[in-house]
Structure 1
Amino acid sequence: MKQVSVVMVTWVLFLIAHLGANAQSSEGRNVKWKVIDPLEIAVSYNKTSNLIFPFPIISVDRGSAAILAQKAKGAENILQVKAGRMNFTETNLSVITADAQLYSFLVDYSDEPSVLNVSFYKDTLRTASPVTLPKGQVNMQEYSNIADSVKKASSFLNYRTNEQKVRLSLRSIYVSENAMWFNFRIRNRSLIDYTPDYIRAFVRDKKKVKRTAIQEKEITPVFNIPYSSIKGRGDQHIVIAYPSFTIPKDQELVFQIGEKNGGRSLTLVLNHKAILQAKLLND
């Protein structure tokens, strides 16, 4: 009996060890994943469907040449889709946008699609984890969140200029994500709406040397909040991000805002000291 008991105990210990080893092995192979359900859409041979995304499109992949897809002219966030031939077999469409998100579709054919235009809001059809963007590619969702934070952050600057009852003022400069975030306020004190046409930023020499043209170095923004028309007696904040920079003492930073179909152009000039007043966001 003692021998039997010893054998039984030995067998139980072996079984426990074996099961424990298998459990550890299973845990080692455990992979977390999530199914992304595609959205079903129908397209026609004679009509164009429009998919409107909250951020610019950076990649489109068609499961079949039976569907045609292109970005709309003049709009980076609108994808136009239609059938390349009638009655094709169901296929798929994948779209990646600048906020590092994947949108997945199942595409079928219909002579008369019930829906032609679909507009997506933020946080719609998101992947379980963000798409990894190429090196140097800006994540527009993250930058949009930073811009919102800059708008809400404290204002500590008051550089300003006026033109025909329209005032442009620089309220703050914050540093975040290797970029400098300029928070402007445009106040329209007239009764006529003010619509910005363009915003330029460039660095130039303070003094012009005789017989020498003034050299201007354009600065390209990495992000800006879309701006719209400013109603009479209204105001608007515009946040623009540029790669972090400084300027020499003998140069100045110039911002120019032109009015669409109007003559109220605004020019704001800053020296090197103004740029050095930048603060860390959420400091």
Structure 2
Amino acid sequence: MKNLKFLLAICLLPFMSLAQDTVYVSQNKTTTIQFPSEIVTPISENAVDVQVKHGNLLLLKASDKQFQFASLTVNTKKGDVYKVPIAFSYGRAGRVNKIDTSNVKELVKIPKVNPLRTTSEQMVNTHKFKKIASDKDGKMAVELGEVTIVSDQLFFRLKIKNKSNINFDIDFIRFYVRDLKTAKRTVTQEQEITPKYSHGTENQSVGGNTTHQYVFALDKFPMAKDKALYVEVYEKNGGRNLYLKVKQSEIEDAKLMN
């Protein structure tokens, strides 16, 4: 049966899958994707609510909880299949995105090596962990290893330690830039930084008396001396939340990949 399905897919060529740039969603803003032809079936993960409007418009909102990454598959009447990566962002949600039909990839092809994945795996498997920041809540702790830079990508390595007997289920891990010091009764602005790649996030639970590592690749970003990068690790249905603060000097000391 699997062979039959594969043969049918080959016979339908030139059936194309069109890869797209990341689209950002949030819970309180509606993001729109405009397709060049009428939508037949949108297929999304549970993290995203979708609604078709006027035939070729797709309205998106995040569901009732935050997430890091998801994907969306859309079939159109022209026979095209669109693969759209979805990410959560407070600041970049609510936009109208037009599908780029020039970025076309064949459906059947040899997968390429992802350099971000290769670098992340190398960091976890072969590089010594050198702690530069940490936070603790009871028997839960998070540590940040020294920042690594490869080309224009900054790699942040997190180690989450659970010394309790209760599993630590991760709700979300968030990166954002804000003022290093804030005066009381002052409104602060946060610049959310969305990771370009994450490694290890398929494991959303750190079991009792275990340790798990995560690597996040971020595009390099400007940051003044009076600001810092903050990392939040929130527990799902719990209160053992962890926070890290990374100063400009610690990011400027990023090490080259050996």
With normalisation by structure 1, the TM-score equals 0.55
SS of the residue corresponding to residue 149 of structure 1 reads helix
Unaligned runs of 5+ in 1: 1-37, 43-55, 60-67, 85-91, 105-124, 131-139
- Distance between the aligned counterparts of 2:43 and 2:18, measured in 1? 8
Query: How far off is 1:167 after superposition?
Result: 0.7
The answer on 1:209 being equivalent to 2:183 is yes
**Alpha-carbon deviations, 1:16-74, whole Å to 9, x = none?**
xxxxxxxxxxxxxxxxxxxxxx92258xxxxxxxxxxxxx9837xxxxxxxx6543333
CA contact (8 A) 2:166 2:207 kept: yes
- Distance across 2 between alignment mates of 1:202 and 1:269: 10
1:57 & 1:204 partners in 2: Cα distance? 36
- Aligned residue pairs total 186
1:103 counterpart residue number? 107
Aligned position for 2:46? 74
Instruction: Note the alpha carbon deviations across 1:215-238, whole angstroms, 9 max, x for none.
Output: 322222111122421110011101
Is residue 148 of structure 1 aligned with residue 124 of structure 2? no
One-letter code of the match for 1:126? Answer: I
Q: Give the unaligned 5+ runs of structure 2.
A: 10-16, 21-39, 48-69, 86-103
What SS does the corresponding residue of 1:145 show, helix, strand or coil? helix
Distance change >3 Å, CA 58–CA 69, structure 1 → 2:
farther
Aligned residues: CA RMSD: 3.5
Which structure has more relative contact order (CA 8 Å, sep 6+)? It is 2
Change (3 A) 1:247 1:95: closer
Counting helix residues as a fraction of each chain, which structure ranks higher? 1
Whole-Å separation in 2 of the counterparts to 1:274 and 1:178: 16
C-alpha distance in 1 between matches for 2:253 and 2:136 = 22
Match of 1:58 among 4, 19, 28: 19
**Residue 220 (structure 2) aligns with:** 244
Deviation at 1:150, TM superposition (A): 2.2
Please give the secondary structure, in 2, of the residue aligned with 1:195. Answer: strand
Alpha-carbon distance change, 274 to 203 in structure 1, aligned in 2, over 3 angstroms: same
Deviations 1:72-130 (A, max 9, x none): 3337558699xx9xxxxxxx9878798x97433xxxxxxxxxxxxxxxxxxxx516xx5
The structure where strand makes up a greater share of residues is 2
Indicate how the Cα distance of structure 1 residues 251 and 146 shifts in structure 2: closer, same or farther if over 3 A, else same. same
Matched, 1:40 2:13: no
Q: Counterpart of 1:253 in structure 2: which amino acid? A: L
From 159, 168, 184, the equivalent of 2:158 is 184
Q: Which secondary structure does the structure 2 equivalent of 1:215 belong to?
A: coil
